[in-house]
Amino acid sequence: MGEVKVPCDKYWGAQTQRSYNNFKIGKEKMPIELIHSYAVLKKACAIANNKLGILEDEKKDAICKVSDEMLSGKLDNNFPLSVFQTGSGTHTNMNVNEVISNRGNELLGDIMLHPNDVVNMSQSSNDTFSTAMRISAVCEIEDKLLPEIDELIITLEGLENENKDVIKIGRTHLQDAVPIKFSQEISGYRFMLKGSKEMLLSSLENLKKLSIGGTAVGTGLNAPDEFDNEVTNILSKLLKKEFYPSHNKFYSMTSFNDLVFAHGALKALAADLMKISNDIRWLASGPRCGLGEISIPENEPGSSIMPGKVNPTQCEAMAMVAVQVISNDVAVGFAASQGNFELNVFMPVCIYNFLQSVRLLTDSIRSFNKNCVSGIKINEQKSLEYLERTLMTATALNPYIGYEKAAKVSKEAFTKGWSLKRAVVELGFLTESEAEIVLDPKKMI
């Protein structure tokens, strides 16, 4: 195709440069998490090829050394390609191959590593890109997202224990309902997170079945026997996670229903985090003219014009992340539906959105926990005030005087501005001592 100029201070080569020149689309670059997963994959492939007797020790060692440099972040500025490139990710595979080749040859002091013949030995872009996608998805969920979920669960457990005796008014339809303990309300949030964690863990099993060894179309052409088993065994040792060869490479190179399923769990987590963050900002609304049942940390000024205003900014950030993740789910699902014959050619946009969701959820949960949830304080006085004013504790009268009379008590109390206890006594349905017992909020939770 003729000559192409490549920057002398970079390790990439002609194929990378052609992609860089031809796809100046947007600011979105290939996620570095994917590049690092490619690094460990190339290392595993080199070790496997060496073990199977088709790659010399010296070349294997050079590939491994450069892969380790990539993993350390030392070479991060050598991966400039747009997400919106070839749908197979071939340009990114060759970007990785060229960087490893040129840096490796620099270390060797000789031209021994050819990007296609040596670094890409026994591989294709089609099976390596889809494998790197799954490796990055597993590592980011297991190593980064799940620990942040666990930390938030611990914080919520602490809030439960601190407020196990505090009773507040429950709410349904944004209207007063019967009493509930703060600890019970918080336990609902905690179980949402536990449920999301369980769904994510269940999704990881399918993601750990890799397409490596399928080469171009799933047949394994140009890959030696047992290459897939060797690579997955090596990856398992390097990453301390159990990876397996896909039993059907024709499936795993054209279908990404495992990523769709896993992102569904990410979407479910986002939906619950939206609910939790919205509840917290409602409960903290005020400080004088809102619900004000809780207070949250005052992290920064909330207005450029209203002095003293403080806003629930961490809740708002979490809610916006949830919107982005739920939107990303559409892109992941749509991209995964675009498998044609033996290949899906929407892989880059699929993994870009997937990894963005994991990254945003990881960061936002950490920020939400540190800057909001860990500093929540319960306003017991306000909670007691609402309990004394609510009419919904009239529900507890039903077994004693029936629904119709209880409704009359509630209406009388509301109309005349009385307490429920006074209304039920004035109407002659219960004695004062009976009303005291029946309308005790502690007996309703």
Tokens representing 44 are: 């595993």
Between strands 294-295 and 244-245, the pairing is: unpaired
Which residues neighbour 388 within 8 Å (Cβ) at sequence distance 6 or greater?
A: 419
SS3 98: helix
**Backbone angle region of 428, left / alpha / beta, with phi > 0 → left and psi within -120 to 50 → alpha:** left
Distances (CA, A) of 109 to 66, 115, 252, 412: 14, 16, 39, 93
In 240-373, alpha helices (H): 249-252, 257-283, 313-336, 347-371
Positions marked catalytic? 173, 303
SS3 294: strand
Contact 122, 341 (CB under 8 A): no
For residues 336, 340, 345 and 349, what is the CA-based torsion angle, rounded to 10 degrees? -20
Which residues neighbour 233 within 8 Å (Cβ) at sequence distance 6 or greater?
A: none
Is the omega angle on the peptide bond into residue 287 within 30 degrees of 0, that is, cis? yes
Closest CA to 83 of 37, 26, 130, 131: 26
